[in-house]
Amino acid sequence: MIKLQIRIGDITDFNGDAIVNAANHSLLGGGGVDGAIHHAAGPALNNACMKLNGCKTGEAKLTDGYNLPANYIIHTVGPIWHATKTDAIQLANCYRNALRIAVNHGFKTIAFPSISTGAYGYPLDQAAPIAVKTILQFPSDIAVSMVCFDERTADAYQRALQNYESGF
Ligand code: ADP
């Protein structure tokens, strides 16, 4: 079974097999967590990303971690919030496809940021239960950390985890 831990921190400090990047279609860097990851990984990351031909919403692609403490980066592109059913499907696909890459490479420890709830505008109280459910229902024994940048975000994921565990 997947082990899920929710914590507050900067995902670029995660010292494990892989961190997940909430990237954009170009994979060439942006603001928020994407900018922080590109900054911490160094310019070699951008060179690697240029060879990937971008990434579609809900899909995921792997690169090395370069100067990061984490060995690899799994880049995924969250949906921009449009208040449609597609948003939820695509958001779940981000978590599922990132986990699939992690499992296929034998990773034991990975960290996710709160995908889509920053610049992409996905309401936190709707994104968190989707993330928690998708992670916990993924068939694997990988250890997953949700690394939240602030307390409000961590609270939302903690609540979603408690609700999931109590059957809501
Ligand atoms: P998106 O475009 O998918 O919404 P953002 O980067 O704008 O992505 O925001 C996603 C989440 O990542 C937000 O909760 C934001 O506060 C958080 N975040 C920003 N920088 C970091 C970081 N260094 N580590 C972890 N989370 C971060």
168 residues of the chain, pLDDT tens digit each: 899 999 999 999 999 999 999 999 999 999 999 999 999 999 999 999 999 999 999 999 999 999 999 999 999 999 999 999 999 999 999 999 999 999 999 999 999 999 999 999 999 999 999 999 999 999 999 999 999 999 999 999 999 999 999 986
Nearest residue to 20 via CA among 4, 37, 7: 37
CA 149–ligand 1 middle distance (angstroms): 7
Domains of the chain: 3-165 (3.40.220.10)
- The DSSP bridge partners found for residue 126 are none
Quick check: CB of 118 below 6 Å from ligand 1?
yes
Name the strand (E) or helix (H) holding 73.
strand 72-77
pLDDT at 167 (0 to 100): 87
Residue pair 94/113 in contact by the 8 Å Cβ criterion:
no
Query: Could you give the ipTM of this predicted complex?
Result: 0.99
Nearest CA to ligand 1 atom 1: 116
Cβ-proximal residues to 53 (8 Å cutoff; 6+ apart), any chain: none
SS3 110: strand
List for the chain the helix, strand, coil content (%; round to 5): 40, 20, 40
CA 9–ligand 1 middle distance (angstroms): 11
Quick check: CB of 79 below 6 Å from ligand 1?
no
Residue pair 38/32 in contact by the 8 Å Cβ criterion:
no
SS3 143: strand
Ligand 1 atom at shortest distance from the alpha carbon of 121: 4
